[in-house]
Structure 1
């Protein structure tokens, strides 16, 4: 957890246990070959936090640096100010939990957007068919929060502030990891959170060869 302090995540209000879970998943995905050994960008969304607060962090694990800290929307049927209900179902207009791998960018009705592949069976594997993507939206802003008491909501996409979305998308596209953390009281269990294979992958990433 040395990287937690060096990335200045304490002052950015990222809970240590959420960061730890995200790291375990990241290194398990690397261990299983789902992401490249050279990948070093991790995005975390903490749905335990109010939508009025910045609850998305983009971290460069190699440089141990926080790249972005931003607002992010949840789905219309996931809750008002707080995210409370989640679904992997098409048409649910809910957010989905768990680990994703970023894909290609494209230009859609929201401008530059980013495809996501859900890799957590039972939680987010319909992300592609549901068109759950990262995009910018006018309803994701401090102004909207001041006016409505909460952030605007999406159809299930992790929508970002329009003035930040393109920079964030360019930093995370092409095979990086996104982790959407479950709020307290919402059941979430994942094979990506097994500690032992994650430790092995972490050791490998540090140049420690387990075979001597």
Structure 2
């Protein structure tokens, strides 16, 4: 499929909704104007019902551009949507080439939710805060640690710059499972790490691998 045909396909249905207003306008111009256009970022035709916050995806795309030299791999990103309750599938891995998405449970830090409400209340980058940090991360080395297999996260923004010093990683935990939600109605809390269910950890680590973007934020209505 050539680029013009792909753009027309992306502009149908959810494809157009997945684009930011500026990207949509540029894509429409590319379809209707016969003159050559500046190459566009490849549109992501998201499947309706994925639950992905498009503003969060836009922020992740902006982070890829902002930290461009840090990322040799730009085909896939992970979004941690902490505006959602911990019982929701709020950790999304998005393929920026073909638009496929996979969503998982993910915990937040106990320092971000001191009353254990199941909702992240605030972020922190402070050592020993036991809180989750917002911002752009680069996935690092996969290693075997106290939780078993885990992936290091390198904080790239001022609000998560202490991630390595705080040992913020992606790891598996029994408190980040569907069974835990069935019993307690919410996930347990980490010490600031992005904890996922142990049985899906290999899939998450395999899809991300070292050198990709993980973007965490909480976007709420004004």
**TM-score of Structure 1 vs Structure 2, range by shorter chain:** 0.7 to 0.9
Q: Which has the larger radius of gyration?
A: 2
Provide the secondary structure at the position in 1 that maps to 2:112: coil
How do 1:151-162 residues align onto structure 2 when only pairs under 5 Å count? 151-162=187-198
Equivalent of 2:184 in 148, 152, 169: 148
1:23 deviation in Å?
1.5
Give distance in 2, aligned partners of 1:7 and 1:85: 29
Residues 34-57 of structure 1: CA distance to partner in whole angstroms, max 9, x if unpaired?
211x43110000000011100000
Provide the secondary structure at the position in 2 that maps to 1:170: helix
**C-alpha contact (below 8 Å) 1:83/1:183 kept by paired residues:** no
Please say if 1:20 is aligned against 2:55.
no
1:62 deviation in Å?
2.0
Which residue number in structure 1 is paired with residue 67 of structure 2? 29
Give distance in 2, aligned partners of 1:185 and 1:117: 29
**C-alpha contact (below 8 Å) 2:46/2:99 kept by paired residues:** yes
1:26 deviation in Å?
1.8
Provide the secondary structure at the position in 1 that maps to 2:66: helix
Which residue number in structure 1 is paired with residue 153 of structure 2? 116
Provide the secondary structure at the position in 2 that maps to 1:77: helix
Provide the secondary structure at the position in 2 that maps to 1:128: coil
1:16 deviation in Å?
1.6
**C-alpha contact (below 8 Å) 1:46/1:55 kept by paired residues:** yes
Give distance in 2, aligned partners of 1:147 and 1:64: 34
Pairs aligned (count): 179
Q: CA RMSD in A?
A: 1.7
Residues 67-87 of structure 1: CA distance to partner in whole angstroms, max 9, x if unpaired?
x21000000111121001211
Q: Which structure carries more relative contact order (alpha carbon 8 Å, separation 6+)? A: 1
Structure 2 regions of 5+ residues with no counterpart? 1-17, 20-42
**C-alpha contact (below 8 Å) 2:81/2:90 kept by paired residues:** yes
Which residue number in structure 2 is paired with residue 63 of structure 1? 98
Equivalent of 2:125 in 56, 80, 88: 88
Give distance in 2, aligned partners of 1:83 and 1:28: 26
1:183 deviation in Å?
4.2
Which residue number in structure 2 is paired with residue 189 of structure 1? none
Equivalent of 1:43 in 71, 78, 86: 78
